[in-house]
Amino acid sequence: MPPNGLALFCGYIGKEGKDKKLFVFEPVKPLVSGMYRCDSKFHLGPLYEQLEANRTYGFIIIDGNGVSIHTLSGNTRRTLFKLEVNLPNKHGRGGQSKNRFAHIREEKRGWYTTKVAEIAVEKFINPTTCMPTVDGIVLAGFAQLKEDVQSKLDHRLLSIIVAMVDISYGGESGFNQAINLTKESLGNLKFIHEQEVISTLFEEIHKDGHYAIGIEDTMYALTNGLLETLIIWNDLKYVRVELVKSSTSETKILYLSQEKDNLDESAEWTVQSKGALLDWVLEHYTEFGAVIELVSDETDVGAQFVKGFGGIGGILRFQTELPSNNPLLVHEEENNNDEDEYEYAW
């Protein structure tokens, strides 16, 4: 598999649809999540987004235990380098050894910060063009350490520093904290926008406000025009199955986890349509007057949204009662002990 993933398009063309065409290529940027679409047209949205002028920022996260170097572009984050160190603490004893230990400590700190500045050049300067590969740099860490690194940075990187922030942690946690502290400096990055969208939902949940969470509540709210903003994971793993009853033409809809999408068909009910729920939502959400926000699980709040609520939720137009008291809704787990299946009878 290529580093950026693979885009594959295939279909039949010609008057009788006999000529098969196949196109395969590597995207210009890494694909955040997988996507499968079966339609009369190709869905190029994720590839068009890669061509947008997303600014890329470099992050240098440093503390007394180590340094990590990252990039952030759109909603794609990468870790380019990690180094753990064990810097000596201040020597508390007096006597002749005090000055010697202080000298050793300063010497190791000097080597450490010089090394970080050198690695920053390796990661953020193109050796061919001798120009920065990022649009800006965020330098985050404990006060003196980050200032020491700043004083040793190459002038080409020094000129594009957009923010210097104090953080309480190192590594990945420090990276997340640095992103939150530099929202205003970084502008309208998709990564930050996703955080704000999901955080708004969490605030509504916290104050018991206008919200729907989970597959059951959210799909009920969407299809009944109650949802103002639909927030959905861009790799949602649910299948939508529409069944019809042959004797009465009654229909019902099941939402099944992709891992448990084996459907026991009876003679009474037959499958009218079956496909990825995300595909159906992307095609029909405007019919219900909702705005859609596709989010990833790349942020902490995004991962929490996917793990805690299944990757689907939304903001309601007004506070209303949802959904378990709806007599039209039947929980499949009552019969199958499967909490990932929901049935709606219309």
Q: What's the token pair of residue 172?
A: 């990945």
SS3 per residue for the chain: CCCCCCEEEEEEECCCCCEEEEEEECCCCCCCCCCCCCCCCCCCHHHHHHHCCCCEEEEEEEECCEEEEEEEECCEEEEEEEEECCCCCCCCCCCCHHHHHHHHHHHHHHHHHHHHHHHHHHHHECCCCCCECCCEEEEEECHHHHHHHHHHCCHHHHCCEEEEEECCCCHHHHHHHHHHHCHHHHCCCHHHHHHHHHHHHHHHHHCCCCEEEHHHHHHHHHHCCCEEEEEEECCCCEEEEEEEECCCCCEEEEEEEHHHCCCCCCCCEEEEEEEEHHHHHHHHHHHHCCEEEEECCCCHHHHHHHHHHCCEEEEECCCCCCCCCCCCEEECHHHHCCCCCEEEEC
| pTM for the predicted model, two decimal places | 0.57
Q: Which strands, in side-by-side order, build the sheet including 342-345? A: 269-276, 238-245, 251-257, 342-345, 329-331
CA distance 179 to 162: 12
Predicted confidence band of residue 321 (pLDDT cuts 50, 70, 90): confident
Q: What integer is the mean pLDDT of 114-132?
A: 93
Predicted confidence band of residue 103 (pLDDT cuts 50, 70, 90): confident
Condensed to tens digits (0 to 9), the pLDDT of residues 67-100 reads: 999 998 877 789 999 999 887 766 555 555 666 6
Q: Is the pLDDT of residue 225 over 90?
A: yes
Predicted confidence band of residue 141 (pLDDT cuts 50, 70, 90): very high
Q: Comparing C-alpha atoms, which of 239, 240, 340, 231 is closest to residue 296?
A: 231
CB contact set of 195 (below 8 Å; sequence gap of 6+): 179, 180, 299, 301, 302
> Which residue would you say has higher pLDDT here, 12 or 59?
59
CA distance 82 to 126: 20
Q: Is the pLDDT of residue 339 over 50?
A: no
Amino acid at 254: L
Percentage of the chain with pLDDT > 70?
81
Per the CB < 8 A criterion, the answer to whether 199 and 300 are in contact is no
> Which residue would you say has higher pLDDT here, 249 or 75?
249
Predicted confidence band of residue 123 (pLDDT cuts 50, 70, 90): very high
Domain boundaries, the chain: 7-51, 56-187, 195-345
Q: What integer is the mean pLDDT of 90-116?
A: 74
Mean pLDDT of the chain: 81
Question: Fold identical between 56-187 and 195-345?
Answer: no
Per the CB < 8 A criterion, the answer to whether 230 and 290 are in contact is yes
Highest-scoring range by mean pLDDT, 2-11, 70-79, 121-130, 323-332:
121-130
Fold of 195-345: 60s Ribosomal Protein L30; Chain: A; (3.30.1330)
Instruction: Count the Cβ atoms, other than its own, within 10 Å of residue 236.
Output: 20
Condensed to tens digits (0 to 9), the pLDDT of residues 153-172 reads: 999 999 999 999 999 888 88
> What CATH superfamily is the domain 56-187?
eRF1 domain 2 (3.30.420.60)
Q: What integer is the mean pLDDT of 133-150?
A: 91
> Which residue would you say has higher pLDDT here, 316 or 267?
316
How confident is the model at residue 330, as a pLDDT? Answer: 40
Predicted confidence band of residue 334 (pLDDT cuts 50, 70, 90): very low
Predicted confidence band of residue 188 (pLDDT cuts 50, 70, 90): low
CA angle 216, 220, 224 (to 5 degrees): 175
Q: How far is CA 205 from CA 198, 199, 200, 232, in A?
A: 11, 10, 9, 16
